[in-house]
Structure 1
């Protein structure tokens, strides 16, 4: 990776994503787009629907382009987008980042995205590759790195899997109660228990009070389902 981040390269990618077309949802007031969540936009204190015409959409984009042009902090460019598109922005712009800046952005993207383990544009295998190539101290804040350093060489971890979520994701925790909360927040799910080696852990994040152990599912050994819903596999052996 680069020694210094190419801010102009990031801006070019940001503008490219800004101009991606919107797609409709089942709700009239919500759209799918990297920047715009709603088709309604304030233009000189007047609300306009940017789906009404290409001109209206381009006018809204032009306003955001001005913000992009004024932004000189790499991480703030990522924050131009909706959190569900953070990893997508990193995917398109990776070649323009320095290693340390990319590590900081990746850790923030992972923590802030609602479901990074199920990102349709960035598979878990790609995120795993990114994390493995970065310095742990750059990925974690000082408190997180201190906790990671204090972990035993072998520890028990848990992953709460709610309905529709990826059982082979990378987000685990040593806190069973937290895993159980994740398992049941959208209806009854289940918790996977496993054993990991500290050397296989990619990072530890506590920024959202989740005690998250980031590790590839294939590196979690002796996996068993210790709580499951009626649709889970009958066997106690997982994955």
Structure 2
């Protein structure tokens, strides 16, 4: 019994370490894409001009301290956040996957979710490239899992949920309730939740709005900036709530 627990703990530690390592790449992605709308992805440190991402795509890792290794200027995400949150996401993925090997679906999404949330918090935008690659990869992976498991119905449900959730958020964007980046992310979230089940779609979508409303209410009471709250992080947090409530 004790040996089994030890093996399980060791497995979780390994998964967390892998996720932590992926999180170091997420930090670079946030550094690249946390720029104003219309600006090209960042390649050099804003403080010293040191190249972080070379023209050929070669990446020089950034410090987990959230500061440039060469000049100490604050760059990218806050210290340790990208790495730790991605690691925890990797650990949590198998808990909502059935069978466990289908955790690959959520392992694919975790880095994109963390990067998108951090970019949205930083510059109030969701880069099309991040959301697009996440969505296309998700559809491909789900199609493969559906074939292996013989679950075409689950794949069709995921597609339908993506459309439904996307239309709901598009209607809100039409009246100025959110941006188109939120709508595109909502489609990806809808597909993921739809794969898990309609109950996950309902809970996850509802949780996103509830969490955002609570944040705005607290901000208004405390005098904080509640009017321009980025909705992307709440979409992702709501999805986590939906998956935790319904499993996959």
Query: Considering the TM-score relative to the shorter chain, is it more than 0.5?
Result: no
TM-score scaled to structure 2, two decimals? 0.30
Q: TM-score, normalised by structure 1?
A: 0.31
Higher helix share: 2
Q: Of the two, which has the highest radius of gyration?
A: 1
